[in-house]
Amino acid sequence: MTAINRRRFVRGALSTALAGPLLAHPALVKLGRAADFSGQTLRFMIINPHAGSVDPLSAAFAELTGAEVESVSVPYDQITAQSTLDVMSGTNDMDVFEYWYVDKEALVRDGILADITDRIAADPEIDPDDFLGSLYDTYTLVNGRRYGLPYDGDTHVLFFNRTILERNGVEPPATWDDYTQVAKAITEAEGNGGVHGALLMGKQFPIIIGSSYANRLGGFGGNFLDADGNPALATDAGIAAAQAMLDAAPWAVPTPLETEFGNSIPVFLSGGAAMIEFWTDLGTWSQDPGQSQIVDEWGVVPMPVGGGNTVNRPALNAGFGFGVSSGSGNQDMAWEFVRMAASKEFHTRVLTDNTTGVDPTRRSALPAYRDFAPLQADAVEQAIGNAFSWPTKPESPELMQVLADELGAMLAGDKTAEQAMQDADNAWQDILG
């Protein structure tokens, strides 16, 4: 996911106009074989925070195939509903959907995404082994079949403001206890001056508050579901993770329940908070003098750990792929788009452009990424290598909403961490039957 500096939805004409400069881009020349779809129109649906990807995607596809390209941006929490409605109602306006990997089984159960296993197998240029860590299977595999290809490999890392930390004589935290202490020290010292120890994203959208929880869950060595697929929230790790959020909340920018990415970034970039868990592309914005007052003043570390756990296990927070709509009238063309968006060359190109909102999915793109974003490359590489996933069951949309509600109730002071996790665990058992 990422910034939208430009949210124009590019129409065919514009795509063609943009294709000129792109032609010269050395990476694009290697996009591989091109089918000719001139005279046809490809329509894709994309989440609003990826609107910066629309221009590059449209232009490249128009250049590659001669097709006209149209797109629809929808809020990220509506993408699954909107794509489902499109196919289920028979509207079939779209050829390609962007999808949140957490909802993949729900989409496959309802027949929204087309099975592209054979297309992938027949395509030598995909090179699945090149996808980082477990990302390929996590994003695309349902019951042994493939339904999409990764586009945006989101994980969180911990960003900190070095100046604020040094001013207060504290080090970047290695454990979640440290994190709370650091946040507390800074807020106690500078809170009245408007500088807080941390930004804790707790707005009750699954993708927001769920990410904050997942960061801690991984740190304490927990999982959303156990090996048998049963809820594992009411475990020591699950409860400790919730408690860690609760402990940090008083020292975070007020108040975590109202904090999401839209209002966090300006605060962090203006030096108003010392720490924030965020998607990796925050680094490139922090270095951009046009929007940042903390150029060269920030750093990044892997997510802290906690309890008896010492191995950092970051979570795949957010994370999106592209899939072919089962209602598309031209699945060959749709597939062409999906494979282009996931290709090594195109991924490298959008990865090294901080307006597209794309984080690494492919190993082969990492060298270029290192040149582009040297400060965060290490943390990102380590993070994504052994990241763990959110539940991807058909019931996931409901599961994550329940969890978000319980965490919200906890932060609002209605429940203890233990109660909240016990209630969430029970609700999950009900939902999963």
Q: Name residues contacting another protein, limited to 73-112 (CB under 8 A).
A: 73-78, 80-82, 84-85, 87-91, 93, 106-107, 109-112
* Per-residue burial over 128-153, b = 16 or more CB atoms within 10 Å of its CB, e = otherwise: eeebbbbbbebbbbbeeebbbbbbbb
Candidates 167-175, 236-244, 384-392, 407-415; binding stretch for another protein (CB under 8 A)? 407-415
Residues numbered 249 to 308 that lie near another protein (CB under 8 A) are 253-259, 261-263, 265-267, 270, 272, 291, 293
Residues numbered 164 to 203 that lie near another protein (CB under 8 A) are 191-192, 194, 202-203
Q: With contact defined as beta carbons under 8 Å apart, do 265 and 271 qualify? A: no
How many Å apart are CA 103 and CA 111, to the nearest integer?
12
Q: With contact defined as beta carbons under 8 Å apart, do 144 and 431 qualify? A: no
Work out whether 408 is an interface residue with another protein (CB under 8 A). yes
Q: With contact defined as beta carbons under 8 Å apart, do 299 and 160 qualify? A: yes
Residue indicated by tokens 């296990």: 313
Closest CB 293 distance from another protein, rounded Å: 8
- In this structure, what DSSP letter does residue 356 have? S
Q: With contact defined as beta carbons under 8 Å apart, do 320 and 76 qualify? A: no
Closest CB 15 distance from another protein, rounded Å: 14
How many Å apart are CA 181 and CA 196, to the nearest integer?
12
Candidates 3-11, 16-24, 160-168, 384-392; binding stretch for another protein (CB under 8 A)? 3-11
CA dihedral 392, 395, 397, 399 (to 10 degrees): -90
Give the bridge partners for 199, in sequence order. 276
Closest CB 152 distance from another protein, rounded Å: 12
Work out whether 429 is an interface residue with another protein (CB under 8 A). no
Closest CB 403 distance from another protein, rounded Å: 12
* Binding letters toward another protein, positions 34-73, x by CB under 8 A: -------------xxx--------------------x-xx
| Closer Cβ to another protein, 160 or 261, answer by number | 261
Q: With contact defined as beta carbons under 8 Å apart, do 61 and 17 qualify? A: no
Binder among 185, 366, 375, 409 for another protein (CB under 8 A) = 409
How many Å apart are CA 183 and CA 246, to the nearest integer?
13
How many Å apart are CA 323 and CA 101, to the nearest integer?
11
Closest CB 37 distance from another protein, rounded Å: 20
Q: With contact defined as beta carbons under 8 Å apart, do 94 and 43 qualify? A: yes
Under rule CB under 8 A, how many of the chain's residues touch another protein? Answer: 72
| Closer Cβ to another protein, 326 or 348, answer by number | 326
Work out whether 121 is an interface residue with another protein (CB under 8 A). no
Work out whether 310 is an interface residue with another protein (CB under 8 A). no
Closest CB 243 distance from another protein, rounded Å: 17
| Closer Cβ to another protein, 42 or 411, answer by number | 411
Closest CB 4 distance from another protein, rounded Å: 6
Work out whether 398 is an interface residue with another protein (CB under 8 A). yes
- The encoded tokens of residue 245 equal 């959020």
How many Å apart are CA 213 and CA 315, to the nearest integer?
9
Residue among 297, 279, 303, 294 at smallest CA distance from 354:
279
Closest CB 346 distance from another protein, rounded Å: 21
Closest CB 59 distance from another protein, rounded Å: 17
